[in-house]
Structure 1
Amino acid sequence: MHLSRTHWVVIKISIFLLSLTPFLLLVNDTLRDQLGANPVETLHFTLGDWALRFLCITLALTPLRKLLQQSWPIRFRRMMGLFAYFYASLHFLVYILLDLSLSWTHFIDEVPQSPYILVGLLTFLLLTPLALSSSKTIQKRLGKHWLQLHKLVYIAGISAITHYLWLVKSDISEPLFYSAVMSILLGTRLILYFKKTT
């Protein structure tokens, strides 16, 4: 796709604003007291859903580049990855600040009964170094190690799905849908890897 630098800037700004829209809508609903009977749960689950969606989008960009034989999808990979981390961070903060009220005792009490919390924390910890090392400056400093580090996103994808599956206790149709999407995305990468090595 041959576009001028100005066009790419406009497209990136538009996608940035579109990606920020779910957060702005949540802020609006919070200020207008329209989050339903359990506002903390609504915030928690909605932010988690968007974190997973952006993680899926991030993982879809490299296969999309291969499929289209175009380089432009990679232009948005860092932005989508950072938005995945942004929503994951808010998801985590809602749990720590609003669910637990910053109580370490409550956290220790909940973990043995809810192992999905540990898996969710693992996912967040896996995404953190990826977000911190996303700049081009750090990428240059790390060199080939940067590529190795960012392979953690695959483990984060699996742990995010596991977290979601363990969290939902009744209707698991939505986490199963995301499991299928994640399986396709990671499976596609495996196929591309084996094609490259053979």
Structure 2
Amino acid sequence: MVITDHINSGARKLPIWVVYAAGLVWPVWLFYLAATGAMGIDPVKALEHELGELGLQALIVGLAITPLRAMVGVNLIRFRRAIGILTFYFVSAHLLVWLILDVQILSEIWKDILKRPYITVGMAAFVLMTPLAVTSNSWSVRKLGPRWRKLHKLVYRTAALGGIHYIMVGKTWEAESLIYMVVILALLGWRVHDSRKKQRGRAAQSGSSTKLA
């Protein structure tokens, strides 16, 4: 398709450092808006929300890269690592705002994690995301071998927990958070379907080879 060809051509020409630069600057811009009073009467909460939502959006974009290539031919694979690292950066900034600007009292942090389920779920997602960010480099891919791919399947659980956390933060069934969850479930569902399809294909190929032998 012409549109797909244009997108792929543009993606090939776009340096990866541009993606990193845009991602690094974005939270800085949000911090500036909060500091200058452009985020309303409760800038800390607004900043916390914006950074968390940004992290969830980046996570969804990362999950969508493979389905986009398979279904419509849009190839953004070369940006997947950058998007993954930036996702961790956004979520870390979200967490730091909560820790430093919101809770402030260090002794209350652990109480909040245990007492408030949405924080417990959010922290679980962050914990699962951490090894993914640490191993998002060529050295780790070579060192871990096949285990690297298995480790990075944690992204699916991270995405599910992230969607649940976002719903729970709202404390009501808000349309926006439900839409995010539906998109995440659709992407995870596609992954399951694709994995089963590949397994059936390998089984059929193996059966054909056995008959020929």
Q: TM-score, length-normalised on structure 2? A: 0.83
Describe the superposition over 1:148-171 as per-residue Cα deviations: whole angstroms up to 9, x where unpaired: 000000000111111111111235
Describe the superposition over 1:77-107 as per-residue Cα deviations: whole angstroms up to 9, x where unpaired: 1111111101000011111111121512x12
Within 5 A, what are the aligned runs for 1:9-88? 10-69=14-73, 72-88=75-91
State the distance in 1 between where 2:165 and 2:171 align.
Answer: 12
User: Partner residue of 1:147?
Assistant: 149
What letter is aligned with 1:147?
A: R
For the pair 1:99 / 2:89, whether they are aligned, the reply is no
**Deviation (angstroms), 1:187:** 0.6
Unaligned runs of 5+ in 2: 201-213
State the distance in 2 between where 1:15 and 1:108 align.
Answer: 35
RMSD: 2.1
Q: Is the 8 A contact 2:31 2:47 kept in 1?
A: no
Within 5 A, what are the aligned runs for 1:101-116? 101-104=104-107, 106-116=108-118
State the distance in 2 between where 1:77 and 1:134 align.
Answer: 10
Q: Against the structure 1 CA distance between its residues 35 and 9, is the aligned structure 2 distance closer, same or farther, given a 3 Å change threshold?
A: same
Unaligned runs of 5+ in 1: none
Within 5 A, what are the aligned runs for 1:111-122? 111-122=113-124
Taking every aligned residue pair, what percent have the same amino acid on both sides? 32
Describe the superposition over 1:44-69 as per-residue Cα deviations: whole angstroms up to 9, x where unpaired: 10000000000000000011121234
Match of 2:92 among 89, 106, 120: 89
